[in-house]
Amino acid sequence: MPTSRAASRPPAVSLSGASTLRSTNTAERIVEELRGLIATGKISKGARLPTERDLASTYGVSPSTIREAIRALAVMGLVEVRHGSGTYVVEDTSALVRSSLVTAMQMEGVQISEVLRLLALINEQAASLAVERATPENVQALSEANNAVASGSTSREILDGVVSFLTALLACAHEPLLRVFGGFLIQLLDRIESDLFPDDAQFWRTLTGNAYEDRQAIIQAISQKNHDAVVQAVRKYHAGAIDLLETSALETGPGSKLSDERFAALISALITTR
């Protein structure tokens, strides 16, 4: 006999410690309590929340108040509603990070050049940690990514190689916070660069090929556990990359702001990607 969809659902988490709320802003207080439970890990990533009826009973409120709270948590990117299955805490927090950070950057009028320089600082820290923490597998991933940049036959393949190299560098640090924030900046810059520059393999081959030896120097310094050398190599790589991007930019290049209208569609796509 087939197993029903409802029967296959994981059990909902227990909210036995939740408080009954009596206030004119009850929905907001429920949102804050659930947000805190999720943020502190008391409700784990991927967990299924109790049904609206059960939550309403737990908090002593109406189901409509619970629906309002759930909608707010979904907008925050903390939960996702799966029709016919229930409401689940998100497992991948990268979408939450993307939405929060890119919105803040837009509101502050951050320029693309500032994003480039921030990523350079993050990668310098990642490389410093990589000297002590990188595994042979991490170093191999860096080498494979660098070779992928050089062997890419299309602009997308070349850019994917660059993304893989920078992502692998962050992974070498074995530092979750650097991986989360650096990974967001890499994705953001990848989308912006794809929009700013022509979809031309030769253009990207020239742009990235000049930095092949710089990337190789980073790999070598990490392999040799040479802290001073890796810091200098990362600084040289990013200085060259920033200079190339700025001198090769189109009319609206790295001096543009993330709040510019031309980036609205790609930023929206970045936020909604899971």
Listed by start position, the domains of the chain span 26-89, 95-272
pLDDT confidence of residue 272: 61
Residue 137 pLDDT exceeds 80: yes
Segment (H or E) for 82:
strand 79-82
pLDDT confidence of residue 244: 73
Does domain 26-89 fall under CATH 1.10.10.10? My reply is yes
Topology match between the domains 26-89 and 95-272: no
Rounded Cα gap, residues 149 and 167, in angstroms: 13
Residue 10 pLDDT exceeds 90: no
Transcribe 237-254 into DSSP letters. HHHHHHHHHHHH--SS-T
261/248: higher pLDDT: 261
Rounded Cα gap, residues 1 and 8, in angstroms: 13
Which residues, listed in sequence order, are joined to residue 87 by a DSSP beta bridge? 81
pLDDT confidence of residue 236: 94
pLDDT confidence of residue 255: 64
pLDDT confidence of residue 7: 47
pLDDT confidence of residue 257: 79
pLDDT confidence of residue 101: 83
User: pLDDT tens-digit profile of 111-124?
Assistant: 888 888 999 999 99
Long-range pairs of 39-43 with CB within 8 A, sequence gap ≥ 24: 43/13, 43/89
Band of residue 21 on the pLDDT scale cut at 50, 70, 90: very low
pLDDT confidence of residue 249: 56
| pTM exceeding 0.85 | no
CB 161 within 8 A of CB 146: yes
235/104: higher pLDDT: 235
Residue 139 pLDDT exceeds 80: yes
Average pLDDT over residues 73-98: 85
pLDDT confidence of residue 12: 77
pLDDT confidence of residue 37: 92
Chain centroid to CA 126: how far? Answer: 16
Nearest to 258 by CA among 116, 95, 76, 124: 116
Report domain 95-272's class. mainly alpha
User: What mean pLDDT is reported for the chain?
Assistant: 85
Band of residue 243 on the pLDDT scale cut at 50, 70, 90: confident
pLDDT confidence of residue 98: 76
Rounded Cα gap, residues 106 and 192, in angstroms: 14
Nearest to 198 by CA among 152, 250, 247: 250
